A and B are shown apart, each in its own frame.
Chain A
Amino acid sequence: MTRFEGTKDYVATDDLRVAVNAALVLQRPLLVKGEPGTGKTVLAQEVAKALGKPLLSWHIKSTTKAQQGLYEYDAVSRLRDSQLGDPRVSDIRNYIRKGKLWEAFAADSAPVLLIDEVDKADIEFPNDLLLELDRMEFFVYETGETVKARQRPVVIITSNNEKELPDAFLRRCFFHYIRFPDAETMQKIVDVHFPDLKQELLREALTLFYEVRETPGLKKKPSTSELLDWIKLLLVEDMTPETLRQRDPKKLIPPLHGALLKNEQDVHLFERLAFLARRQGG
């Protein structure tokens, strides 16, 4: 089996690489957690790209039921068709709609299945998928057939920690917590995304970024994806490293801070700090 070594667009740290490979070799689902914006969803796309497998994404919402991932039986349209004498009615299979899991099980070559933000769903959702993820098969009551995976798909599950997941579910997964990248890794990540960024600008931007992150009391710390957006903006606005380096107390709020600070209270916090700094200065 091919191994995952990161791709040219995605910097995978050693621990992430080992976790992904373990999940690949032992064919267990991999649960990925971490701060929002550290590349959990992107990971699945990159794994699919690196292994040359198709990607199936199942995005979970608060109303998603586990059954929807397997299949849905559209009883209402069947009833309607029977009223109209449609010949399709005699075959119940015409009214069974396949879910993402079924699609993944039936695929010719094992795909990468991303179950995105599993914590958004109802608290019992993961429990309802235990058997399906473990044995990679399920039973269709309407037709009496058992759907079995032709090849076990690579399952990647992401969670934002809004709800805790049940133990029985966790026991079946491998787990990786994407830590916030250190400055060195971060530089690599930025290099991958903006290959011809001026080193000086990058250094200033990173310093400023880590300063913002370390401000105590921030509700939502800016993360990798916010940093990338911010750098994109800096490039568009053609900022110079000098502007970033300015430590003028009046401009304590970083330029184009909208990309970094997403919370009104955090912006207020910065404004208050700027105000205090100004008062001390004057």
Chain B
Amino acid sequence: MFPTFFYELRKAGVPVSLKEYLALMEAMQAGVAGFQVEDFYYLSRAILVKDERNLDKFDRVFGHVFKGLEGCAATTLEELYAQIPADWLKKLAEKLLTEEEKAQIEALGGWEKLMETLAQRLAEQKERHQGGSKWVGTAGTSPFGAYGYNPEGVRIGQDGSRNRRAVKVWDKREFRNLDDQVELGTRNIKVALRRLRKFARTGAAEILDLPDTITSTARNAGYLDIKMVPERHNAVKVLLFLDVGGSMDDHIRLCEELFSAARTEFKHLEYFYFHNCVYEGVWKDNRRRHAEKTSVWDVIHTYGPDYKLVFVGDAAMSPYEIVQPGGSVEHWNEEAGIVWLERLLAHYKHAIWLNPTQERFWGYTQSIQMLRQAMGGRMYPLTLEGLDAGMRELGH
């Protein structure tokens, strides 16, 4: 019924499958939507979209497919209308208008004149609302000319017919800010992090230990002797160092996702923040970063070498910040960043650096090359593949 719609959705990156498409057909057959276009919009949205992040894409596709405008780049109602050629409108109007109405148009000064009046009125209205001028330029192919078939068509601005209201529903694009092309969903991160899991039994005894129960019962002359063991828990310990501020601002969302995924996935997760490169102090609370610093020595002494060390940072900085004492942009550091990095690496055998910058750009930044070398090549892009490779490295 709507194969174009289906393929356009797929092309726009809304993950719809045949199953959902068939469900939509089924719903149409069952008459859920009735014959109103809004209902059809709501119905297809409920069936085809499964994530609020895709709602905006859906709205866009719905808008252009059901307008019959293929692949137009319009993002607003005005632009969309502006792409309807005037001739087409004129023909349509001629087809729909009665002789009487045509006469009325003539009385107003003919079609051209009517269009002009319309454009003028719209321009006035526009200025009052937005003060836009670019829009008036395109008004020659007047969008609202579509309503020209109504001899009282000058009322355009206040037109409140059902259809127009319906158009607004998806053209409002209320879900715009929920759309965020994240390469890595929290779920994906979690699945990748699972590679790191190592199970051990800790905590309260709560599950039945069958082999032990059987042995004990046998030893107990057949009288039941139930033995319990603690449940298995993930015992891997992770120390996470996150770069904050500066060039990392672009990657905050990605890092937050990684962090929230890591946090629920590991029982022992300690995190610290640093800026650009690790120096003698790291901190836990960004707002009090200058007041409450933890010495890196304390970190090394507190968390044993069985912790796995994960740096997250874009490693983009001036090379001085790495090799030069006093090179830090924030404070005077007695020892160079590289010294501190090497200290950490000497203590923690399992360490990786996750870099949110795309791998193909790494070669162009000297500091990335330097840190990659310092990490012994253990720098991975913050993508699913990179995370997977990184976790495998940590698991060795």
Interfacial residues, chain A to chain B (CB-CB below 8 A): 14-15, 17-19, 21-23, 25-26, 28, 30-31, 33, 75-76, 79-80, 82-83, 123, 163-167, 170-177, 179
Partner of B187, one of A30, A166, A175: A166
Partner of A18, one of B26, B43, B52, B188: B43
Residues of A with C-beta under 8 A to B50: 31, 167, 170-171, 173, 175
What class of interface size applies to chain B in its complex with A?
35 or more
Is the Cβ of A175 less than 8 Å from the Cβ of B46? yes
- Flag B87-128 by CB within 8 Å of A: 1 or 0 each: 000000000000000000000000000000000000000000
Residues of B with C-beta under 8 A to A30: 46
Q: Is B33 an interface residue (CB 8 A)?
A: yes
Given contacts A17-B42, A22-B46, A164-B186, 17 further A-B contacts (CB under 8 A): A15-B45, A18-B33, A19-B43, A21-B32, A25-B32, A26-B27, A26-B32, A33-B52, A123-B187, A164-B187, A167-B50, A170-B50, A170-B51, A172-B19, A175-B47, A175-B51, A177-B178
Q: In the complex, what distance in Å separates the CA atom of A174 from the CA atom of B187?
A: 20
Residues of A with C-beta under 8 A to B178: 177
Residues of A with C-beta under 8 A to B27: 22, 25-26
Is the Cβ of A175 less than 8 Å from the Cβ of B223? no
Q: Is B15 an interface residue (CB 8 A)?
A: yes
Q: How many A-B residue pairs have CB under 8 A?
A: 82
Is the Cβ of A163 less than 8 Å from the Cβ of B42? no
Q: In the complex, what distance in Å separates the CA atom of A31 from the CA atom of B23?
A: 15
Residues of A with C-beta under 8 A to B187: 123, 163-166
What is the CB-to-nearest-CB distance from A134 to chain B, in angstroms, rounded to a whole number? 10
16 CB contacts below 8 A, A to B, read A15-B42, A18-B42, A19-B42, A19-B45, A21-B32, A30-B46, A75-B208, A123-B187, A163-B186, A170-B50, A171-B20, A172-B19, A174-B23, A174-B47, A177-B178, A179-B175
Given A18-B33, A79-B224: A177 touches B42 (CB 8 Å cut-off): no
Residues of B with C-beta under 8 A to A171: 17, 19-20, 50
Q: In the complex, what distance in Å separates the CA atom of A167 from the CA atom of B38?
A: 27
Is the Cβ of B46 less than 8 Å from the Cβ of A25? no
Residues of B with C-beta under 8 A to A176: 46
Partner of A179, one of B17, B49, B174: B174
- Flag B35-49 by CB within 8 Å of A: 1 or 0 each: 000110011011101
